[in-house]
């Protein structure tokens, strides 16, 4: 790395096309690696449901005999065994809810705390710390042979996942080149889907073991993700925007040169750095950052009616993630096998569960192209529209030919049609709301509140994720205290997608193809509905007249205050 003791006078540029250095293969590789963090997210949400249904695990938690020992010689689908599994040989509902939801509680707080920490110790170190916390939680989960330790382990591991899920988005958005930022963050979503698939496969492979390996193997596999991510990030550069926020411009220049794959004294690097610094100065002049509490409070400053105000952006991020969860996608992933079983006529509900997970993985890559070509706003509007149609169709078929009652058994073709539309619904989600919700929260915040804004938005995702995990069994299950909505639940999800549709239409701006600093300007000058046509017309460096009052960056020294 070229380093010297020289002072460089950075003047910035007034050319809107020069505010970012050209994209190199190296830049792609760095962000592609960061996307790996998505594997954690997906895997950790994916394994618990399967483990809760494993015979060895149930036996360990309930101390009831295995069904084949209790009823020797009876077929596994005999009525006796079915009843025994329903009433005795099952982890009690409250323990299922607790072990599933405690992860989201950990991630909720983890994401908020990480949003704070990322401004103090840096994005990279926060993610590495998240991996460390996650490993501690994982060790406890693996060692556990009962509820208490498992719950503590899940809570701590959840904390780590909260760190990782929020800050990987922040890190990727800050280092990715604008032209491919959407596509690479969609890569993160792709990794989430792969994580869910891997969890399903590992659980499928170990589920019939009659030893602790049945649940310990799926849990322990996660250590691999932690080691790979932490080691990789140790080598990767810190986000230059973090150093700008800290006023360490020499380190910012160094980090920027590394993520762009350019020499430190390249004009491109100096122009891009100047633009980030000028934008930060401008933001600081609008919202004064005072105390610790004051800096949290600034996330909620300004008028909610103004698209560029901090409060509006924070609410945009929080509601965006709430709407993503309320599309009902996790109903399918968490509750799919049970739901498919209730439809009757399906022989292997787990296999259908695997198919839905595969559809999720295979359709996500299309979004790499769509987010950059069609744009974030349009795919969110279009995706919500498609999900309304598909979910209403599933509900309508279910309410008529698909209903399984003693007098009118479900029509097998109707059930197949329902599954086909559920798969189409997953594909609609995977190409639109899945990636775009994460992309948008990484792009809409100014640097002054970015890490906290992303943390709060991610926390909202986990909050709603948890609510859905806890309430859906009570909405759909065929149990006494359940609302027994059955397939009518799809009318509910379809109705909620109408909200997501309106939210996207009225509140989501188009951010594609802009640098994070240009997004700031666009929000000031447009409304969500007019944002698509906005073109950058000036630079922050130009507006602040850096040509006359350059920023001096001392390369190779500890700290340099900007002279703007
Ligand atoms: C969501 C998760 C969901 C996953 C499915 C993500 O974007 O936030 O809750 O399980 O997509 O692929």
3-class DSSP state of 266: coil
Q: Tens-digit pLDDT profile for the chain (564 aa)?
A: 334 456 666 666 777 776 677 777 887 888 888 888 899 889 988 888 788 888 999 999 999 999 888 889 888 778 888 788 878 888 887 888 888 888 888 999 999 999 999 999 999 999 999 999 999 999 999 999 999 999 999 999 999 999 999 999 999 988 888 888 899 899 999 999 999 999 989 998 998 899 999 999 999 999 999 999 999 999 999 999 999 988 888 899 899 988 888 888 888 888 888 888 888 887 777 766 667 888 888 899 999 999 999 999 999 999 999 999 999 999 888 777 777 777 766 667 667 878 889 999 999 999 999 999 999 999 999 999 999 999 999 999 988 875 666 566 667 888 889 989 999 999 999 999 999 999 999 999 998 899 999 999 999 999 999 898 888 777 876 666 677 788 889 999 999 999 999 999 999 999 998 988 889 899 999 999 999 989 988 887 777 776 667 766 665 544 443 333
- The domains of the chain, with CATH numbers, are 17-66+86-236+287-536 (1.20.1250.20)
For residue 326, CA distances in Å to 48, 199, 339, 461, 501 come to 21, 23, 18, 10, 11
H/E/C letters for each residue in 124-180? HHHHHHHHHHHHHHHHHHHHCCCHHHHHHHHHHHHHHHHHHHHHHHHHHHHHCCHHH
Q: How far from the centroid of its chain's Cα atoms is residue 107's Cα?
A: 11
**Calpha distance 520→453 (Å, rounded):** 14
Residue nearest to atom 12 of ligand 1 (CA): 193
Enumerate residues 6+ apart whose C-beta is below 8 A from 485.
475, 476, 492
The response to whether residue 458 sits with its C-beta less than 6 Å from ligand 1 reads no
Residue 389 near residue 239, CB atoms below 8 Å = no
CA of 224 to the centre of ligand 1 (A): 21
The response to whether residue 461 sits with its C-beta less than 6 Å from ligand 1 reads yes
3-class DSSP state of 553: strand
Phi-psi group of 252: left, alpha or beta (phi > 0 → left; psi -120 to 50 → alpha; rest → beta):
alpha
For residue 173, give the nearest of 435, 536, 429 by alpha carbon. 435
**Calpha distance 562→72 (Å, rounded):** 79
H/E/C letters for each residue in 389-444? HHHHHHHHHHHCCCCCCCCCCCCHHHHHHHHHHHHHHHHHHHHCHHHHHHHHHHHC
Continuous segment of H or E residues that includes residue 276? helix 267-286
Supply the pLDDT for residue 273: 85
* Radius of gyration from C-alpha coordinates of the chain: 25
Enumerate residues 6+ apart whose C-beta is below 8 A from 259.
26, 27, 30, 175, 237, 240
Query: How many residues in the chain?
Result: 564
CA of 243 to the centre of ligand 1 (A): 31
The response to whether residue 122 sits with its C-beta less than 6 Å from ligand 1 reads no
**Calpha distance 119→103 (Å, rounded):** 24
**Calpha distance 540→532 (Å, rounded):** 21
Structure token digits, residue 474: 């009570």
**Calpha distance 427→419 (Å, rounded):** 12
Looking from the CA of residue 333, the nearest atom of ligand 1 is: 10
Residue 453 near residue 204, CB atoms below 8 Å = no
**Site of tokens 């994720």:** 465
Which residue out of 434, 458, 459, 500 has the highest number of ligand 1 atoms within 8 Å of its CB and is therefore the one to mutate? 434
Supply the pLDDT for residue 420: 92
Percentages helix, strand, coil for the chain (3-state, rounded to 5) are 70, 0, 25
Taking the model in full, what pTM does it have?
0.88
CA of 213 to the centre of ligand 1 (A): 28
CB environment 158-180: b (16+ within 10 A), e (fewer): bbbbbbbbbbbbbbbbbbbbbeb
Supply the pLDDT for residue 90: 86
Supply the pLDDT for residue 117: 95
Which residue out of 330, 331, 356, 357 has the highest number of ligand 1 atoms within 8 Å of its CB and is therefore the one to mutate? 330
For residue 137, give the nearest of 118, 114, 113, 163 by alpha carbon. 163
């Amino acid at each position: 790395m070229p380093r010297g003791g020289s002072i460089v006078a950075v003047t910035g540029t007034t050319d809107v096309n020069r505010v970012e250095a050209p994209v190199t293969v190296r830049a792609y590789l760095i962000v592609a690696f960061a996307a790996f963090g998505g594997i954690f997210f997906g895997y950790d949400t994916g394994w618990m449901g399967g483990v809760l249904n494993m015979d060895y695990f149930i036996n360990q938690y309930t101390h009831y005999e295995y069904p084949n020992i209790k009823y020797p010689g009876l077929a596994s689908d005999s009525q006796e065994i079915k009843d025994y599994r329903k009433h005795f040989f099952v982890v009690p509902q409250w323990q299922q809810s607790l072990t599933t939801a405690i992860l989201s509680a950990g991630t909720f707080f983890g994401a908020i705390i990480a949003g704070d920490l990322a401004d103090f110790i840096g994005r990279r170190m926060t993610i590495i710390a998240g991996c460390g916390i996650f490993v501690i939680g994982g060790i406890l989960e693996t060692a556990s042979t009962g509820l208490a330790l498992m719950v503590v382990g899940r809570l701590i591991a959840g904390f780590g996942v909260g760190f990782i899920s929020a800050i990987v988005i922040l890190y990727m958005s800050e280092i990715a080149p604008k032209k491919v930022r959407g596509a690479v963050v969609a890569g993160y979503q792709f990794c989430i889907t792969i994580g869910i698939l891997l969890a399903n496969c590992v659980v499928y492979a170990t589920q019939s073991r009659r030893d602790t390996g049945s649940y310990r193997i799926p849990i322990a596999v996660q250590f691999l993700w932690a080691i790979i991510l932490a080691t990789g990030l140790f080598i990767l550069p810190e986000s230059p925007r973090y150093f700008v926020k800290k006023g360490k411009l020499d380190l910012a220049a160094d980090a920027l040169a590394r993520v762009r794959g350019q020499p430190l004294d390249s004009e491109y690097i100096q122009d891009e750095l100047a633009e980030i610094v000028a934008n930060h100065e401008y933001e600081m002049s609008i919202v004064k950052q005072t105390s610790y509490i004051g800096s949290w409070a600034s996330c909620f400053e300004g008028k909610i009616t103004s698209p560029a105000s901090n409060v509006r952006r924070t609410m945009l991020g929080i509601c965006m993630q709430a709407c993503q969860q309320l599309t009902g996608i996790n109903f399918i992933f968490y509750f799919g096998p049970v739901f498919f079983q209730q439809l009757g006529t399906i022989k292997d509900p787990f296999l259908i569960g695997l198919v839905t997970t595969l559809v999720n993985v295979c359709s996500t890559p299309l979004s790499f192209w769509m987010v950059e070509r069609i744009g974030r706003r349009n795919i969110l509007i279009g995706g919500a529209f498609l999900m309304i149609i598909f979910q209403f169709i599933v509900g309508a078929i279910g309410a008529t030919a698909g209903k399984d009652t003693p007098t009118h058994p479900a029509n097998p073709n109707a059930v197949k049609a329902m599954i086909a539309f559920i798969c189409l619904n997953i594909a609609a989600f995977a190409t639109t709301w899945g990636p775009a919700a994460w992309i948008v929260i990484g792009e809409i915040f100014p640097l002054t509140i970015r890490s906290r804004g992303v943390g709060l938005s991610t926390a909202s995702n986990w909050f709603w994720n948890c609510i859905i995990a806890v309430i859906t069994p009570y909405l759909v299950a065929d149990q006494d205290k359940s609302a027994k909505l059955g397939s009518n639940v799809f009318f509910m999800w379809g109705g909620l997608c109408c909200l997501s549709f309106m939210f996207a239409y009225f509140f989501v701006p188009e951010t594609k193809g802009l640098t994070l600093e240009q997004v700031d300007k666009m929000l000031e000058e447009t409304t969500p509905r007019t944002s698509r046509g906005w073109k950058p017309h000036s630079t922050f460096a130009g507006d602040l007249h850096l040509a006359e009052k350059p920023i001096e960056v001392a390369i190779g020294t500890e700290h340099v205050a900007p002279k703007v």
